Amino acid sequence: MFIAVASGKGGTGKTTIATSLALAVKEKYEVQYIDCDVEEPNGHIFLKPEFTYKESVTVQIPWINLSMCDFCGRCAEICAFHALVALPGNVLFFTELCHSCGGCMYFCPKKAISPAEQEIGWIEGGLADGIDFIQGRLKIGVAVSPPLIQAVKNKRLSGAAVIADVSPGTSCPVIKAVEGADFCILVTESTPFGLHDLELAFGMIQKLKVPGGVVINRSDGKDEDVERFCKEKGIPLLMKFPFSRDIAVNYAKGLPLLAIKPQWKEKLIALWEKCERMGRN
């Protein structure tokens, strides 16, 4: 089972839910936690893994042999992301805009463009109290993260209970992390911003054809708007986590939810089992 934990809005508690699920079900399943929030991975703060390896992740970028190039501009015409600019006696390449599609290499009439490797980040892995832990870290200054997210997902263990912590929003990195999941937990809060971004996130998983459900975090008991949205859209409301100052204070110290509220373990196991029943096989 591969479950992605996402939300449209940052700060709703995705990492809280993802790490708590991993800790709750690790005695019943072989569990793997993959942190796909490669621009700001923070699951390690709470699960405290002992890293045993680190791998570089690279992508292909164009290298232009100016002695073979006739500066026809075909590469710049092909590039949908404007990473290349052809001048009368030179070709400018903007690394930050390149999406490594390879179109410029394929269509160059002089075959003057060949692939070069560029490091975009790293994958780090290890064990966290019996949990297989994987995270990606995007290199500072790199703008395109989906290839690194895919490299993290490629480390998934077959047959394991895989939990992916996804970055906030509904942009390309989120789509890359969620696509292919068996189920997606959408974590929200009962605020106007939380509801607005939940609507966007729900639209995203619909497009991806990934079944999902909603978890309300920091509930103050006034969840009518989110409940109404779930009912109208036919998306299950899986669970509510009440607001607790005690949780907030101890979470800020790096303590996972189950270390603060161990009595919630059975509820979290029940949440996982709900996701399993509703997930696609």
For each of the domains in the chain, give its residue range(s) and CATH number, in order of start.
2-48+130-278 (3.40.50.300), 59-119 (3.30.70.20)
Q: Does the pLDDT of residue 59 top 80, yes or no?
A: yes
| pLDDT at residue number 156 | 97
**Residue of 74, 140, 77, 142 whose CA lies nearest to 108:** 74
% of the chain with per-residue pLDDT over 90: 95
Query: What's the predicted TM-score (pTM) here?
Result: 0.93
Q: pLDDT tens digits, residue range 77-111? A: 999 999 999 999 999 999 999 999 999 999 999 99
What's the farthest any 2 CA atoms get from each other in the chain? 70
203 and 6 in contact (C-beta within 8 Å)?
no
| pLDDT at residue number 1 | 93
107 and 75 in contact (C-beta within 8 Å)?
yes
Q: Does the pLDDT of residue 149 top 80, yes or no?
A: yes
Q: Does the pLDDT of residue 281 top 60, yes or no?
A: no
Q: pLDDT tens digits, residue range 208-220? A: 999 999 999 999 8
Q: Does the pLDDT of residue 142 top 60, yes or no?
A: yes
217 three-state secondary structure: strand
Provide CB contacts within 8 A for 99, sequence distance 6+.
Answer: 80, 81, 83, 144
At position 34, the amino acid (one-letter code) is I
Tokens found for residue 178:
């969620």
Tokens found for residue 98:
């390149």
Q: What is the arithmetic mean of pLDDT over 44-63? A: 97
* CA 73 from centre of chain: 36
187 and 2 in contact (C-beta within 8 Å)?
no
Q: Does the pLDDT of residue 223 top 90, yes or no?
A: yes
Classify residue 273 by its DSSP letter.
Answer: H
**Residue of 258, 24, 25, 32 whose CA lies nearest to 127:** 32
Radius of gyration in angstroms for the set of CA atoms belonging to the chain, rounded to a whole number: 22
CB-based burial, 129-152: b 16+ in 10 Å, e otherwise: eebbbbbbbbeeebebbbbbbbbb
| pLDDT at residue number 280 | 65
Angstrom CA distances, 157 to 39, 73, 163, 198, stand at 23, 45, 11, 29
Q: pLDDT tens digits, residue range 11-43? A: 899 999 999 999 999 999 999 999 999 999 999
| pLDDT at residue number 8 | 87
Higher pLDDT, 211 or 221: 211
Tell me the pLDDT band of 146, cut-offs 50, 70 and 90: very high
Q: pLDDT tens digits, residue range 255-265? A: 999 999 999 99
Classify residue 97 by its DSSP letter.
Answer: G
